Structure 1
Amino acid sequence: MKRFKKEEGKQLIYQSYERLVAAWGESVEELDIETRYGRTHVIVAGRRECPPLLLFHGVGDNSALMWIYNIQELARHFWVIAVDTMGGPGKSEPNEQYMKNFEQSLWMDDILESLDINSKIHLAGVSNGSYLACHYTIKRPDRVNKIVSMAGGITLNMLRMLMIFMPEALFPSEKNTARLLKKLTAPGSDVFQKNRELMLHWNYLLKYFNNRSMMHHTYRKFTHEEIGILKEKALFLIGQYDQLSHYPKSIQNLEKHQIYYKIIENAGHGINHEQPEVINEEIVRFLQA
């Protein structure tokens, strides 16, 4: 299964990816790590002697897009490794093993081993990246110090996601890209519209990325005991207007399990783009506490 619908679309995405990373304004190193599921692309920033922090983006995006407004501040405090999710529209290239039996925690084990990280790590993720952070923390609690989950919850509501992304995702165009991003952000937000390269990249992703390549990721409901592990390690940051994570049942589940969370005002699902200063401060404060 190809990740991109057209080869020329892949090249447009990669070229835009490089322009976005250049716009980070931060000295970085890009690495390709061999794992059992294929080649994983990571962007590394900060000093190696700082605590390691792995970042995970959402389903239909990548590291270059996701962390453009966060990387400078995070790299001041942590050794940051921004990971392009296997099967997503970043630069990671899956192999046949990914198509057969992908297991997120084994893939993340390989990343840590390749980077020679033996100490406890911090994790942070947005949307699907939030699930990856939670999943690994539950699978490997002894390897994880703390996690920050953004625009995610302890339950998954795929129907809710489909309802929000449709019909714009089915008919990609510049106009529909703008419409979808309005649905994913707070009322009146222009955080994506005012950055031409971000808008261009989003349009390329909607037009050329084959979302079916993410179908090899499996998701499951966490047990009460597993959620207890998150209770000791996690902070959930949820946008005030996030239709995917800020709804009654999601909040009730967090409160039922006494999970530490904060509602971020004037933010939607694009929480770390819409309120980067607030999000950066919350991440640094929580992980360093």
Structure 2
Amino acid sequence: MKTVGAFTSENARTKFLAAYGHALDRRWPGRATTDVPTAYGTTRVYTCGPDDGTPVVLLPGAGGNALMWHRYVAELGRHRRVIAVDPVGDPGGSVQDRPIEGAEDITRWLGELLTRLDVPRAHFVGCSYGGWTALQYAIRNPAAAASLTLLDPAGFGKITGRFIAWVIVGGLAGLSPRPMRHRAAGWVRNATLRDDDVMGLAAVTMGFRRRLPVPPPLTDEELRQLTTPALVLLGEHSQLYDAAAVAQRIRTLTRAEVDLVSGAGHDLPMSCPDQILDRTGAFLDRTS
């Protein structure tokens, strides 16, 4: 029997939502909140910015939610509508009630969400798992994707033991006292550990059980189908894969702009938000 991502108890959910709501209020005041019904569950989105024009949809990495974009929403929302998503199956305000078993399901969920939001076309900014989701959606729905900004996206190789170890060590460090957590950020090359708002949710997030599929490696055929304008930014020292090899593969098979961000790892959105904002803003201006 297939299962869905959920909190281990109602008490665990209540504690998480209280901490999450407090962090969002502190870092993203003035946002609008909407719960959208889909076949896979109720999806919560947060919006800001003007209503006209093509919106920007923000998709977080695995185990993440809209809070990871708190350094981005104000700047991106100056001239565009911003829609930050709490994906079903990840800890956030959404509630999953139907399994997601692969790319077809996850893109169907995203398409249904955007239809119900009356968003026929969008720019997508996706980190890691969110990057894979956005890429799969654009391949299947090219007319609905104005552009892709992919930050160290998943789906370019099998999950390695090195990456799993990095995640585990980061998770353990996230539960340590603040001074030790901040020091550990440099040791493990994970700037997320210095984000006190995001890491403030570490303990309460342990009450959530994630049940989403591991992204399978994208085939050459899939990449050749990508026609959407794309900017792919990879951490030079990504723990997820050999970034230089991935960059070369993307350049060979697509027309995407690809760049290795010096000194960054898979923590790319957290380690250099100003650089990412500059590059993303310029790219959006060119593709709008």
TM-score under structure 2 normalisation?
0.84
The 8 Å contact of residues 170 and 188 in structure 2, kept in 1 or not, is answered as no
Superposed counterparts of 1:265-276, under 5 Å: 265-276=262-273
The 8 Å contact of residues 70 and 280 in structure 1, kept in 2 or not, is answered as yes
The 8 Å contact of residues 55 and 80 in structure 1, kept in 2 or not, is answered as yes
Alignment-derived partner of residue 173 in structure 1:
175
- Letter of the structure 2 residue corresponding to residue 227 of structure 1: L
The 8 Å contact of residues 239 and 264 in structure 1, kept in 2 or not, is answered as yes
- Letter of the structure 2 residue corresponding to residue 263 of structure 1: L
How far has the Cα of 1:136 moved from its partner? 0.2
Matched, 1:115 2:114: no
Q: Distance in 2 between matches of 1:78 and 1:86?
A: 24
Alignment-derived partner of residue 33 in structure 1:
36
Superposed counterparts of 1:138-149, under 5 Å: 138-149=139-150
The 8 Å contact of residues 43 and 93 in structure 2, kept in 1 or not, is answered as yes
Alignment-derived partner of residue 6 in structure 2:
3
Give unpaired runs (5+ residues) of structure 2.
none
Q: Distance in 1 between matches of 2:214 and 2:238?
A: 23
Q: Distance in 2 between matches of 1:183 and 1:4?
A: 31
Instruction: Report how many aligned residue pairs link the two structures.
Output: 278
Alignment-derived partner of residue 185 in structure 1:
189
Alignment-derived partner of residue 242 in structure 1:
238
- Letter of the structure 2 residue corresponding to residue 253 of structure 1: R
Alignment-derived partner of residue 164 in structure 1:
166
- Letter of the structure 1 residue corresponding to residue 274 of structure 2: E
Alignment-derived partner of residue 284 in structure 1:
281
- Letter of the structure 2 residue corresponding to residue 249 of structure 1: A
How far has the Cα of 1:71 moved from its partner? 0.6
Question: Superposition RMSD on alpha carbons, in Å?
Answer: 2.8
Q: Distance in 2 between matches of 1:133 and 1:183?
A: 31
2:247 to 251, 256, 280: 251
Identity of aligned residues (%): 23
Instruction: Output one character per residue of 1:139-177: Cα deviation in whole Å (capped at 9) or x when no partner.
Output: 101111110000225513312432322356589832699
TM-score under structure 1 normalisation?
0.84
Q: Distance in 1 between matches of 2:250 and 2:186?
A: 26
Matched, 1:261 2:258: yes
Give unpaired runs (5+ residues) of structure 1.
none
Closer/same/farther in 2, CA of residues 154 and 234 from structure 1, 3 Å limit: farther
Closer/same/farther in 2, CA of residues 180 and 3 from structure 1, 3 Å limit: farther
Instruction: Output one character per residue of 1:17-47: Cα deviation in whole Å (capped at 9) or x when no partner.
Output: 1122112345211110000111001111111
SS in structure 1 opposite 2:111? Answer: helix
